[in-house]
Amino acid sequence: MVHRHARTARRAGLGALGALSALVLAALPANAGAEPAPTAGPVPGAAQTLGADRPSPQLLSALQRDLKLTPAQASERLVNEAEAGTRAGRLRNALGERFAGAWVRGTTAKELTVATTDSDDVPVIEAEGATAMVVKRPLAELTAAKEKLDAAAGRVKTLETPVWYVDVAKNRVMVQATSLAAGAAFIKAAGLQAEDVGIRATKDRPRLLKDITGGDAFYINDSARCSVGFSVTKGAQPGFVTAGHCGRAGDTTTGYDRTAQGSFQASTFPGEDMAWVATNAQWTPTPGVKAQDSQEVQVTGSVQALVGASVCRSGSTTGWHCGTIQQHDTSVTYPEGRVDGLTRTTVCAEPGDSGGPYLAGSQAQGVTSGGSGDCTAGGTTYYQPVNAILGDFGLTLTTAAAQATSPAPQDGTTQQWTEGRVYEAGTTVVRDGVRYQCLQTHQAQSTWAPAGTPALWQRL
């Protein structure tokens, strides 16, 4: 795994870096009974609502370097990605059980593709300015197939089939295996047919990048080092999130300067790769994430990005690097155990970057888990979605746009829109007597009430 430390607020520069918000599967099928007609064309103001039109210089610089973009292309890409997320959410809600996924592509992410299982939906998709793709399997079917692989992984060893995921662009579930025979055996154990699952044979094996070196860091039990992800609060208690493999509940931490910092309150690994640390009064949570040249990017929310969108990572070994999202809801088998629900990216990472934050624009995406390759030859890296961390541990992400509030219970029964609750795409809420449907997975903030945030909510 990769370890990266959050810079604690250094008065006049001291402050704990961190925030959490786990990513859940971007393309969850909408309720088949709710099929509101979409409004033609991009939603006005969607990008401005999410702050994509005001990127930091550090973000633009890294996108230019890692995605080989000009300054104008980098700026245009961020705006296009933000608008695409809103349009994809509206189409997800409109298509319901026929929805088969959405992704962006192109140098500036100008092309949004939305898949459906019904050719009659093509005009509806094109009316939203998206490219339609008619496919065989709805997203719900793909997700069900992956869940069978998840269940099989509890019965058979998966060291020779370390990665499996839903590939929405290919409309199929994929298994990464060390050989075709190993992949075929895993598929058979799951009770799936060979034609239902693709196999990618490769000798690459994801591993936890444990060797922590350089950059801002925090220390666990005065020995191991990891990286801070994002600042969070739980009620009045400040802290930060990081990777679960970095420490266990009860482990103590010291900051980058070796002064007392806090302790792990909860940690899950394997299964998931998430943890949070409660900090003492000397450490102040901030929305900052370390970028290039000791600069910071300010986190403004946790809106989950689409497949194909650009994403940047900060780590104590390799610093600030960018790439694109390949798949959500990926299962990975490390030598230490299996982790489900990760997001697969083209961002490079090396030992020492674990636990560090991933951002899409100014939106928190997750914390670094592990991967393969390096930042010289390139590689594949996985992150634990932050919205899942926030929901599981009852945490509130520290952002530049909102005051910290206590999150609402994540029991799935609340119908009233509530600050602090993590809402998944397709969820229906009531606010001031009006019903709205969620377009993009995110944690609710006071400044993002449904009526004023068309990028995130559709009025029904």
Domains of the chain and any CATH numbers: 46-134 (3.30.300.50)
Higher-pLDDT residue of 103, 27: 103
Residue 96, Cβ density class (10 Å: 0-12 exposed, 13-18 middle, ≥19 buried): buried
- Range with the largest mean pLDDT of 27-41, 190-204, 240-254: 240-254
Residue 447: count other Cβ atoms within 10 Å of its Cβ: 15
pLDDT digits (tens, 9 = 90+) for 37-73: 444 444 555 555 578 888 888 899 999 999 999 999 9
Ranking 121-125, 284-288, 323-327, 411-415 by mean pLDDT, the lowest is: 411-415
Tell me whether residue 3 is one of the annotated catalytic residues: no
At 401, is the pLDDT very low, low, confident or very high (cuts 50, 70, 90)?
low
Angle at 146 between CA 31 and CA 359, to 5 degrees: 75
Tell me whether residue 245 is one of the annotated catalytic residues: yes
Using the predicted structure, report yes or no on whether residue 354 has a pLDDT greater than 50.
Answer: yes
Residue 310, Cβ density class (10 Å: 0-12 exposed, 13-18 middle, ≥19 buried): buried
Rounded Cα–Cα distance for residues 429 and 427 (Å): 7
- Give me the catalytic one of 66, 75, 121, 245: 245
Using the predicted structure, report yes or no on whether residue 5 has a pLDDT greater than 90.
Answer: no
**pLDDT at residue 407, rounded to an integer:** 53
Question: b/e for 414-443, b at 16 or more Cβ within 10 A?
Answer: eeebbbbbbbbbbbbbebeeebbbbbbbbb
Angle at 332 between CA 329 and CA 334, to 5 degrees: 155
Quote the DSSP letter at residue 406: P
**pLDDT at residue 291, rounded to an integer:** 86
Rounded Cα–Cα distance for residues 226 and 218 (Å): 6
pLDDT digits (tens, 9 = 90+) for 154-183: 999 998 999 999 999 999 999 999 999 999
At 316, is the pLDDT very low, low, confident or very high (cuts 50, 70, 90)?
confident
- Give me the catalytic one of 216, 273, 340, 353: 273
Using the predicted structure, report yes or no on whether residue 261 has a pLDDT greater than 60.
Answer: yes
- If you average pLDDT over residues 326-355, what whole number do you get? 94
Enter the tokens of residue 235.
């009620």
**pLDDT at residue 268, rounded to an integer:** 98
Strands (E), 168-213: 172-177, 197-201
**pLDDT at residue 204, rounded to an integer:** 82
- Give me the catalytic one of 75, 231, 354, 369: 354
Tell me whether residue 56 is one of the annotated catalytic residues: no
**pLDDT at residue 38, rounded to an integer:** 42
pLDDT digits (tens, 9 = 90+) for 193-235: 888 899 999 988 887 653 222 236 788 988 888 889 999 999 9
Mean pLDDT of the chain: 84
Using the predicted structure, report yes or no on whether residue 276 has a pLDDT greater than 90.
Answer: yes
Using the predicted structure, report yes or no on whether residue 414 has a pLDDT greater than 50.
Answer: no
- If you average pLDDT over residues 110-114, what whole number do you get? 97
Percentage of the chain modeled with pLDDT above 70: 84
**pLDDT at residue 195, rounded to an integer:** 83
Quote the DSSP letter at residue 132: E
- Say whether 195 sits in a helix, a strand or coil: helix
